């Protein structure tokens, strides 16, 4: 079965991982899931002229920002999986959803300068 999990204030959490968090989607083993993600806090938005997903603006307005850090979509539970089980996850494709990137760490790293010469 194919599932789609959109990033929204109801499906993301901001700045933390917590195994006690309730899943926003439960799937069966072998199912495929397309998960939308967004990135960046309000202070990291690009200047006018770039494409900012409406979902990101909605998340900024309505989602609780517990700690600084990444906006995470999920969690996703696998029906029948139990603590200690090993799960195989295959990433079949990655598609960029916007025409800008946010980098908030390692601005001076050699890798960052190589990929994004603007930081040299």
Condensed to tens digits (0 to 9), the pLDDT of residues 42-74 reads 988 888 888 899 999 999 999 999 888 889 999
Please classify residue 97 by burial: count the beta carbons closer than 10 Å to its beta carbon, then call 0-12 exposed, 13-18 middle and 19+ buried: middle
Per-residue pLDDT of the chain (120 residues), as tens digits, is 999 999 999 999 998 888 899 999 999 999 999 999 998 899 888 888 888 999 999 999 999 998 888 899 999 999 999 989 999 999 999 998 888 877 665 555 555 566 666 555
Tokens standing for residue 1: 């079965």
Report the C-alpha gap between 101 and 45 in whole angstroms. 9
Question: pTM of the predicted model, to two decimals?
Answer: 0.81
Residues 6 or more apart in contact with residue 67 via CB below 8 angstroms: 14, 15, 16
Report the C-alpha gap between 9 and 119 in whole angstroms. 32
């Amino acid at each position: 079965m194919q599932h789609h999990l959109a990033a929204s204030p109801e499906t993301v959490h901001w700045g933390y991982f917590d195994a006690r968090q309730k899943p926003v989607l439960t799937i069966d083993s072998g199912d495929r899931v397309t998960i939308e993600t967004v990135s960046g806090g309000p202070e990291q938005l690009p200047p006018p002229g770039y494409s900012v997903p409406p979902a990101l603006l909605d998340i900024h307005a309505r989602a609780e920002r517990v700690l600084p850090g990444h906006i995470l979509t999920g969690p996703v539970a696998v029906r029948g999986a139990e603590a200690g089980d090993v799960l195989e996850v295959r990433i079949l494709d990655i598609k960029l959803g916007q025409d800008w990137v946010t980098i908030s760490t390692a601005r001076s790293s050699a890798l960052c300068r190589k990929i994004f010469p603007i930081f040299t």
